[in-house]
Amino acid sequence: MTVAYKQQSADRLQESLGLVQSLIERQRQLEHLVSRQDAAESPAVDPLAPQHNLTELRQKLAQLHPADIAHILEALPLEDRLLAWDMADAARDGPILLEVSDAVRESLIEVMDQEQLVAAVGDLDADELAELAPDLPRQVVYEVMGRLDEEERGQLQAVLSYGDDRVGALMDFELVTIRADVSCEVVLRYLRRFDELPGQTDKIFVTDEAGHLKGVLSIRKLLVSDPDAGVARVMATEVVSFHPDEAALDAALAFERYDLVSAPVVDERGVLLGRLTVDAMVDVIREESDSEVLNLAGLKEEEDLFAPVMDSVRNRWSWLAINLCTAFFASRVIGAFEHSIAQLVALAALMPIVAGIGGNSGNQTITMIVRALAMGQMRIGQTGRLWRKELGVSIINGMVWGSVIGAVAWLLYGSVSLGLVMLAAMTLNLMLAATMGVMIPTLMQKLGKDPALGSSVLITACTDSGGFLIFLGLATLFLL
Amino acid sequence: MTVAYKQQSADRLQESLGLVQSLIERQRQLEHLVSRQDAAESPAVDPLAPQHNLTELRQKLAQLHPADIAHILEALPLEDRLLAWDMADAARDGPILLEVSDAVRESLIEVMDQEQLVAAVGDLDADELAELAPDLPRQVVYEVMGRLDEEERGQLQAVLSYGDDRVGALMDFELVTIRADVSCEVVLRYLRRFDELPGQTDKIFVTDEAGHLKGVLSIRKLLVSDPDAGVARVMATEVVSFHPDEAALDAALAFERYDLVSAPVVDERGVLLGRLTVDAMVDVIREESDSEVLNLAGLKEEEDLFAPVMDSVRNRWSWLAINLCTAFFASRVIGAFEHSIAQLVALAALMPIVAGIGGNSGNQTITMIVRALAMGQMRIGQTGRLWRKELGVSIINGMVWGSVIGAVAWLLYGSVSLGLVMLAAMTLNLMLAATMGVMIPTLMQKLGKDPALGSSVLITACTDSGGFLIFLGLATLFLL
């Protein structure tokens, strides 16, 4: 069931956030004042002031859309967040939990007891329940399941049976189906019997007795059609439909390509199982980009901005550890040339330049390839062609920037040959960066892994160790 | 005008791409064979074979949705792309140009003459024309403008007058308006007079004689309402509307929060100007995330995968140059300590570890802060609080990983004090990374700049130079 809540623009939302924050701040001050004057004789502050202030906070929250409350909760530090959560209408706990980020959801669920949780999520639809289920205590899920009727329980189990990156996990079961042999007039009369059409209903699904999808009737078409026209004549049959096992991202890209609002999900026999809606697909696109950014930065998952320090440490731990290993390896490469550095200490100052530029250039290449792979625009057969192109780019960059920095090294240390080694090392390391930048993500893809994962750390490891090896190696060969 | 094209799932799209590629490959082979046997007496290959093959290619492309053709064009190397572009139905040039990425659009427009371009874009709507206008030769824009009627010309000029990150630049003028004093029955009859309702029509806009927006009538509501009910009673009045000067990203986030399909754009007097639709908002969200990823990687803009080498060089040039400057600065920091390194060459091997871990950790912090700022979830007043938290995380990480690597240094070089310097330098550099990771994006934001832009390069510059300075400085003080 959807209720129409007040919607507000970004400015107004920021105002609301500010107001909630100041009410919470005032609450803390008032409570502090009242508790201090309990002992005093003549209270300067009305002992009921904190109560009134809380009521004001409760009223403010009651006016807000659940998505806006979710946004505000995410922006509040933990203790303030829990106070606001307490003041929000319990009847809206479910919708709010659906909207908040995973990290914040955890912090809210943690402070709720089983009874509150069951009450909060009991009214949600199967697909919504399925979204929350992984974060809920198992007991709560069982209890809620027990209260569902057989059809809903079946739907919930179906949704839960798919991995959360599959279409099946995002299926929505609230949809309108009709038969092909009726007229548009009949459809309009049938629709009028609903109290409300499901959200994002831009099309009605046409099925036969066995539930096979025969076509879709777009509402836009229905509204302009002759009432006497048969559905079979007005409906479209060439529409994209999805299988529950398909990747959710592929479905989201199809929504983007064809500007879809909703689309049917069918099983392998063509039986209509449910539908996908654009709001869920927007979330998929957002999550895909988010995880790309987070993976590049070496964060395991989206973080609660105000997470306890230890939670943040855990989220960042693994990538730092990997980075430490690769940095240690690079350090051992340098260690192998300590003798050379002792003879020509300028090498120590120049080597990070070679490694750094290689890392930057490699990250440029790998970012491009990762996106092309994710969008399905690059086929493995094209690897060779792209590699040659990237190699061309790296040779030009290496010659140009290598010459600049080589000239600077020559001026600084008065050695032409040191400048030439610098130029050669820069060019070779950029070529290594281009090669690894193409190879790492395509290999990852071939191995069935997410090509974004760890790409940045791996390429930096290659260009660091490789850069030190190339530069110090060349220097040892030609300068000493 | 929209035509219903065949939609296909991701797998089928990949198949289509493969088929187009093999037809193009065959074309090259056939042309080669025919040209070689022209001199020969008995042709082994039918001289008409290339013609037939091209026809097949043309037919295949004719079956595809413009968005799918765009996808295929993006995945083809330049010469193949131009052949496919030539074989695509000229009547669909406009819709295809709208769908391809900026880089690929440029490559296609480059090979079209003025007449072809005018024909291609002449049938587009004002908002679509406005999207293409910056890429078109000025002459083409003038000629197309001259052919528009007064209303359309006004719309196009309005859209062009807004920056492309503003709501006004994304306005769509195809919408249905009604008056509040009619009944639902009348609305239904009025709609039936349309040949087709505009795409993404989930609501009808209710205006008065002067064009002021009075409310919106959701189609979902209209369909279930009593035909005799008045629009004024059924319409919703508390809906979010946008101003043309508002940031497009803010509007897109509102679409995400409220699961909107379309929303009105009004001027400051409340007059309905146009509407926003979810497909345009999905693009905004996608572009925002894309530019975040690209900025982090140091790429100026999205690149055509098969761009000529020099185009790619230009796209990556500026960031590499900045990186070179910061790397050079870091190198000079090391240069200042050459005397220390000459005395204790182990320093050269260990210093990149301190700098590298600092960079990784700083990038983790900055990515979090940049996202929180972009989502409007962080207020400048909270900077101090977040800084203390990040500092806490960095101290823990510094103590733990610093101890590990300090112990390794001790074992490797047999010097306890070297290990202790390593531990202290790691911790201090991580604290520096946390401080700059919070400071850089908040400062950028205060200066009115995009906080993502250059964040990664700037933080790495700080942690490199800072890391070298701290480690070598401490070593010089305590070890030599």
Q: Please list every residue in chain B whose beta carbon sits closer than 8 Å to the beta carbon of residue A295.
A: none
Domain ranges of chain A: 10-111, 177-297, 309-479
CB contact B393 to A (< 8 Å): yes
Q: What is the mean pLDDT of residues B436-461?
A: 86
Its CATH class, for the domain covering B309-479, is mainly alpha
Q: What percent of chain A has pLDDT over 90?
A: 66
Confidence of residue B38 (pLDDT cuts 50, 70, 90): low
- B139/chain A closest Cα distance in angstroms: 30
- Amino acid B3: pLDDT: 46
SS3 B269: coil
- Amino acid A380: pLDDT: 67
Q: What percent of chain B has pLDDT over 70?
A: 97
CA angle, residues A325, A327, A328, in degrees to nearest 5: 65
Compute the count of residue pairs across chains A and B with CB atoms less than 8 Å apart: 389
Residue of B nearest to A397 (CA): B313
CB contact B203 to A (< 8 Å): no
- Measured CA to CA, the distance from residue B238 to residue B215 in angstroms comes to 8
- Which option is the CATH number for A177-297: 3.10.580.10, 3.40.47.10, 3.40.50.10090, 3.40.50.300? 3.10.580.10
Q: What is the mean pLDDT of residues B210-230?
A: 94
DSSP run (H or E) holding A257: helix A248-258
CB A446 within 8 A of CB A374: no
- Which option is the CATH number for B10-160: 1.20.140.10, 3.30.200.20, 1.25.60.10, 1.10.274.10? 1.25.60.10
Higher pLDDT residue, A118 or B35? Answer: A118
- Amino acid B457: pLDDT: 84
Confidence of residue A94 (pLDDT cuts 50, 70, 90): very high
- Amino acid A337: pLDDT: 95
* Segment B83-98, tens digit of pLDDT: 999 999 999 999 999 9
CB contact under 8 A, A258 and B67: yes
pLDDT value at A1 more than 50: no
- Amino acid B333: pLDDT: 95
- Amino acid A311: pLDDT: 85
DSSP A52-71: HHHHHHHHHHHTS-HHHHHH
pLDDT value at B300 more than 80: no
pLDDT value at A3 more than 50: no
- Amino acid B295: pLDDT: 75
Q: Which of A142-156, B299-313, B451-465 has the lowest mean pLDDT?
A: B299-313
- Measured CA to CA, the distance from residue A139 to residue B67 in angstroms comes to 47
- Amino acid B42: pLDDT: 61
- Amino acid B44: pLDDT: 74
CB contact A24 to B (< 8 Å): no
**Which of A65, A345, A357 lies closest to B323 in CB terms?**
A357
Q: What is the mean pLDDT of residues B339-358?
A: 94
CB B406 within 8 A of CB B420: yes
Q: What is the mean pLDDT of residues B227-245?
A: 93
Confidence of residue B368 (pLDDT cuts 50, 70, 90): confident
Q: What is the mean pLDDT of residues B254-270?
A: 94
CB contact B415 to A (< 8 Å): no
* Segment A453-467, tens digit of pLDDT: 778 888 999 999 999
- According to CATH, the superfamily of the domain at B177-296 is CBS-domain (3.10.580.10)
Residue B46: how many other CB atoms lie within 10 Å: 12
* Residue in the structure block whose two tokens are 């002792």: A342
- Amino acid B314: pLDDT: 86
CB contact under 8 A, B368 and A334: no
Average pLDDT along chain B = 90
- Amino acid B416: pLDDT: 95
Q: What is the mean pLDDT of residues A360-370?
A: 89
pLDDT value at A8 more than 90: no
Which residues numbered 297-356 in B keep a CB inside 8 Å of some CB on A? 297-299, 303, 305-307, 309-310, 312-313, 316-317, 319-321, 323-324, 326-328, 330-332, 334-335, 338, 341-342, 345-353, 355-356
pLDDT value at A277 more than 80: yes
* Segment A32-71, tens digit of pLDDT: 888 887 666 666 778 888 999 999 999 999 999 999 999 9
How far is C-alpha A279 from the chain's CA centre?
14
DSSP single-letter state for residue B163: -
pLDDT value at B50 more than 60: yes
Q: Which of A147-151, A229-233, B43-47, B341-345 has the lowest mean pLDDT?
A: B43-47
Q: Of A266, A289, A285, A291, which is closest to residue A171 (Cα–Cα)?
A: A266
Q: What is the mean pLDDT of residues A97-124?
A: 92
Q: What value of ipTM does the predicted structure carry? A: 0.86
Q: Please list every residue in chain A whose beta carbon sits closer than 8 Å to the beta carbon of residue B65.
A: 257-258
Beta strands in A326-438, from DSSP E residues, in sequence order = none
- Amino acid A2: pLDDT: 41
pLDDT value at B26 more than 90: yes
- Amino acid A294: pLDDT: 79
